[in-house]
Amino acid sequence: MSGKQIKRPKHIPQRTCVGCHTVLPKQSLVRIVRHTDGVRVDPTGKLAGRGAYLHNRRSCWEKGLKGALAHALKVTLSPDDLEGLRQFMGMLPEDDRQDEASMG
C-alpha cells in the first residue's frame, strides 16, 4: 500500500460574529480583546486577553455595542472603551454585501 499520500485540507479556524451570530473563518472577522488597559480592536488577532469577533460591517458593530460584545468579553464597557470602538466603527462600510455573497 505504498501510494500517494492523501493531502488533508488545511484546518481553518472558525469564529462567530457576536453581532449577527454568523460563523465564518477567523481571518474574515475583526477581533476585539479585553486587555489590562481596556477593550480595544486587535488587528493582529494575537493579543493576550479574552476576545470576541465582529464582522467588518457597521450593522454588526451596532448590535454588538448594544450589549452582545460586553457579554462575550465578560466586562462592562467603559465610556472610553465605547468611544474607541465607535471611532473604529465609523471607518467601516455601512453594509458590506460582499461577505454575504461569498458565503452563499
Query: In angstroms, rounded to a whole number, what is the distance separating the alpha carbons of residues 90 and 75?
Result: 22
pTM attached to this predicted model: 0.80
How confident is the model over 12-61, as pLDDT tens digits?
999 999 999 999 999 999 999 998 889 999 988 889 999 999 999 999 99
Q: Which structural domains are found in the chain, ordered by start? A: 14-94 (3.30.1230.10)
**Residue 28: is it exposed, middle or buried by C-beta count within 10 angstroms (0-12/13-18/19+)?**
middle
Rounded to whole angstroms, how far apart are CA atoms 92 and 73? 21
Mean pLDDT of 55-77: 93
Grid look-up 474607541 returns: 84
Q: Within 13 Å and on the Cβ side, how many CA atoms surround 67?
A: 0
Phi and psi angles of residue 83, each rounded to the nearest 5 degrees, phi first: -65, -45
